[in-house]
Structure 1
């Protein structure tokens, strides 16, 4: 079973756009009500009977079960009788709101942090139509339940053999978009590790260094437009909140953020396709992106978008039948890719692969290259070793690319004495 998502620009008329905005607000209210219901049930079970709050407390019968996805979904039928405005929204769209909240709670329970929050005005920006009896795309129109036909920019046709399963309507700063999920009963085999290999190293000075010696510069997507964004945000802060000028200034800030996101994403896809042109096997570092984004270099790290690029590269490699795998990122800059000797920790100012801090060539093999290129070569060697394609170094028992083992102080003391 193959699922793909195609994103198209849609152009609803004035009445359809007003209806979509009303639907988003109704769905936001349903989401917040369901979240409050779950939150009150949880708070009523937190404190002991003899230690209740002196001011207020949630009192819910002990035999009342937890309001899970199915109970809240079933309660929508009764809620429509009490609140007739809920009938304006298509029934399955409201049910998907409950599924969205349940997914957020499951994600919270899995990670043990990140309790779901209430949605403010304008924060609920998408609705989902999960089921269609017939193909909703007819020519250059998208037919949606209770909304009618909406003009769509079908810049690429839906492939033959695919069926439209669901449609998600998303509101962005630049307009309305439809994310169409298509499905086909085909099985695509995973790419096999055959052919030319390539290792890549991600960095801040150079976005990518390959094991072939190629360096790709890192564009500063956010940093170049930071002054313009600061100026727009300063103008927004001086407007009266809720006024027409305030909404106009807020849209300009949102459009600039969307422009930065689109530029970064386009660059990631271009680099991913360029790498897939170079080799049939690609190895990358398994980076801890969350830890990198919290350090001293958090702003340039988030601006580069390493996590998003690795996901894009994985998708492009699968689509182009290129084998992609992540390897351990530890000690990649401390190993000589030519002889496998640990050269020691390097300062960030040292951009050439040398032996420790002597600023000279490797004492074992005399190999000298760029620091990031050497790390990319080590990444490639580790990936090949994991696939059983590595080659042992001459005069060594370890395969190229193995992580150096930490030795004890006693062993190092004995080695110096000998």
Structure 2
């Protein structure tokens, strides 16, 4: 048996190149100096802040575009945000991309579905080209550009929605679902198009960057529980209105799920070891005023924009 090296590297297999260390900063103005490549002009996204040093640079090829990912380091200790202020529960879904506990809805953008007809045409043309020919490579790049555009628009949408959530509240709670298993079913294309896992990761990063508290709660039975009294309210997916027979609380199904997620998040941070918060209701947290019911806080007006139904 062989040792497995040298590893065979076929054309197109590797799309990145790592430069692991630098004696001095390789970025100077709008140019970057890389070993064996020399001075390369770049479109600098933002300047490197003072006090940071460049540790490594990874050059990445996406479609026919080249990107340089610069990792910087600074010896500082950044504390994690602590629970404070207005809580928001976020429920994601296919009918509405997200619904918050404050009653805000966001319509799903469906990036892949919008570009699907164009992508279908380009892929049909690609299938008729002779493989490894110049025309095949040109057509392959056209298909790759469309996929790259879909990926960029989806990620841009996720970042914007994460910032909107941080503007609307100080604590953001989401479900701890494994979206990879849901992407296997009959609605897999729609699940992958929405990118809920990427959205949750981006929201967590944006909350940390802006000093907002983020946490994940149990997703079991969030749509079958009343957010006002905690009673179990059985309903299938065709029922889009939550109507509790025990306390009479009535609201949209997705909003009720967001309020249950919010209540579970508040109960999670109210346990021992979380800055001494003892109240399990949203109204017991600092920065919360009067509420409409025991566990339903007033929504913040003017912070988020309702989408057209």
Please say if 1:377 is aligned against 2:249: no
Match of 2:248 in 1: 366
What is aligned with 2:222? 332
Distance 1:261 1:391 in 2: 39
| C-alpha spacing 1:120/1:374, structure 2 compared with 1 (3 Å) | farther
Deviations 1:221-258 (A, max 9, x none): 11111111111000001111121111110000000000
In structure 1, distance between residues paired with 2:28 and 2:157: 33
Q: Distance in 1 between matches of 2:137 and 2:245?
A: 64
> Structure 1 residue 140: deviation in Å?
1.4
Distance 2:11 2:242 in 1: 53
Q: Which of 206, 217, 224 is equivalent to 2:114?
A: 224
| Greater RCO, 1 or 2 (C-alpha within 8 Å, sep 6+) | 2
Q: 2:66 aligns with which of 176, 189, 193?
A: 176
2:274 match: none
Q: What is the deviation of 1:161?
A: 0.6
Question: Which residue is equivalent to 1:200?
Answer: 90
Deviation at 1:174, TM superposition (A): 3.9
How far apart, CA to CA, are the structure 2 residues paired with 1:230 and 1:328?
A: 39
Count of aligned positions:
276
Give me the whole-angstrom Cα distance separating, in 1, the residues matched to 2:170 and 2:188: 33
What per-residue deviation string (whole Å, max 9, x for no partner) do you get for residues 292-319 of structure 1?
1111211100100010000000100000
Structure 2: runs of 5 or more not aligned: 271-278, 283-293, 296-309
Structure (1 or 2) with the greater helix fraction: 1
Q: Matches of 2:75 and 2:15 in 1, distance apart?
A: 31
Q: Where does residue 190 of structure 2 map in the other structure?
A: 300
Partner residue, 2:3 = 37
Which residue does the alignment assign to 2:306?
Answer: none
Note the C-alpha offset of 1:119: 5.8
What is the rounded CA distance, in whole Å, between the counterparts of 1:120 and 1:149 in structure 2?
28
Distance in 1, Cα, partners of 2:52 & 2:24: 12
> In the alignment, which residue of structure 1 is the partner of 2:104?
214
Aligned to 1:239: 129
RMSD across aligned positions (CA): 2.0
> Equivalences for 1:220-369 in 2 at 5 Å?
220-344=110-234, 346-354=235-243, 362-369=244-251
Question: What SS class does the counterpart of residue 271 from structure 1 fall into?
Answer: helix
* Structure exhibiting the larger radius of gyration computed from Cα positions: 1
- Stretches of structure 1 lacking an aligned partner (at least 5 in a row): 1-35, 39-71, 73-78, 80-97, 99-117, 355-361, 393-398, 401-418
Encode CA deviations 1:60-116: one digit per residue, 9 max, x unaligned: xxxxxxxxxxxx8xxxxxx8xxxxxxxxxxxxxxxxxx9xxxxxxxxxxxxxxxxxx
- Residue 123 of structure 1 deviates from its aligned partner by 2.2
Indicate the SS of the match to 1:168: strand
Q: Are 1:124 and 2:6 matched, yes or no?
A: no
SS of the aligned residue for 1:127 comes to: strand
How far does the alpha carbon of each residue in 1:34-76 deviate from its partner, in whole angstroms, 9 at most, with x for none?
Answer: xx734xxxxxxxxxxxxxxxxxxxxxxxxxxxxxxxxx8xxxx
SS at match of 2:3: helix
Q: How big is the shift at 1:384?
A: 0.4
Deviation at 1:120, TM superposition (A): 4.2
